[in-house]
């Protein structure tokens, strides 16, 4: 008996500024991978190393994305400067988050949206290795996107604040 597909926590077209650091890092690494391919010496590998992720995470990351890319005509991975999340970027975040929170059956269901059973099992192994490497570098993707709190600071102090400061006696 299979589990019902989990309700998506990461939504396509969601603003990137609502993501936490780990999720945004993963999305940008995926975008770099898609933009440059898996050529040797490209910046996505360097990004993993600079973030403190073990070098052994590069092959599973590359393998996972290659498998996902072969499972569909094209992946919805946005350009690096795009401020919104692509559908497949959102699904990948969801999958890695579920694996980091020990919910592999649900993560495998998400991989099933891209892949047939044999490829899905190979992708699950790569995704498990990637999620463990990210967690090992303290990059844990929350099960639900972080809500970015936006604070609007006035460019000038309100007149009441300026006047109150002028009215205070100096010591």
User: Which tens digit of pLDDT belongs to each residue from 17-71?
Assistant: 999 999 999 999 999 999 886 555 568 888 898 899 988 999 999 999 999 999 8
Q: Looking at the domain assignment, is residue 54 inside a domain?
A: yes
Residue 123 contacts residue 109 (beta carbons within 8 Å): no
Do 131 and 24 touch, CB atoms closer than 8 A? no
Give pLDDT, residue 55: 87
Confidence of residue 126 (pLDDT cuts 50, 70, 90): very high
155 or 5, greater pLDDT: 5
Whether residue 2 is contained in a domain is answered as no
The three-class DSSP label of residue 79 is coil
What is d(CA 156, CA 43) in angstroms, rounded to the nearest whole number? 41
> Structure pTM?
0.77
User: Is 82 within a domain?
Assistant: yes
Q: Please tell me the predicted confidence (pLDDT) of residue 37.
A: 62
Residue 76: predicted pLDDT: 93
- The per-residue pLDDT for 40 is 56
Cα–Cα distance for residue pair 30/60, rounded to 1 Å: 13
Number of structural domains, the chain? 1
Cβ neighbours of 169 (radius 10 Å):
4
| Structural domain includes residue 6 | no
Q: Which two tokens stand for residue 48?
A: 């993993």
Range of the domain at 114: 16-148
pLDDT in tens, 67-124: 999 987 688 999 989 999 999 999 999 999 999 999 999 999 999 999 999 999 999 9
């Amino acid at each position: 008996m299979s589990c019902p597909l989990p309700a998506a926590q990461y939504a396509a077209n969601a603003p990137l500024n609502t993501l936490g650091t780990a999720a945004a890092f993963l999305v940008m690494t995926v975008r770099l991978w898609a933009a440059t391919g898996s050529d040797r010496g490209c910046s996505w590998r360097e990004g993993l190393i600079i973030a403190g992720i073990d070098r052994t995470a590069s092959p599973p990351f590359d393998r996972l994305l290659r498998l996902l890319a072969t499972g569909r005509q094209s992946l919805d991975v946005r350009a690096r400067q795009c401020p919104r999340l692509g559908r497949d970027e959102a699904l990948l975040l969801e999958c890695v988050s579920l694996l980091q929170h020990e919910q592999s059956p649900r993560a495998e269901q998400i991989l099933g949206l891209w892949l047939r059973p044999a490829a899905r099992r190979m992708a699950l192994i790569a995704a498990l290795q990637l999620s463990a490497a990210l967690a090992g570098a303290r990059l844990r993707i929350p099960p639900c996107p972080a809500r970015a709190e936006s604070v609007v600071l006035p460019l000038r102090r309100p007149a009441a604040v300026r006047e109150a400061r002028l009215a205070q006696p100096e010591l």
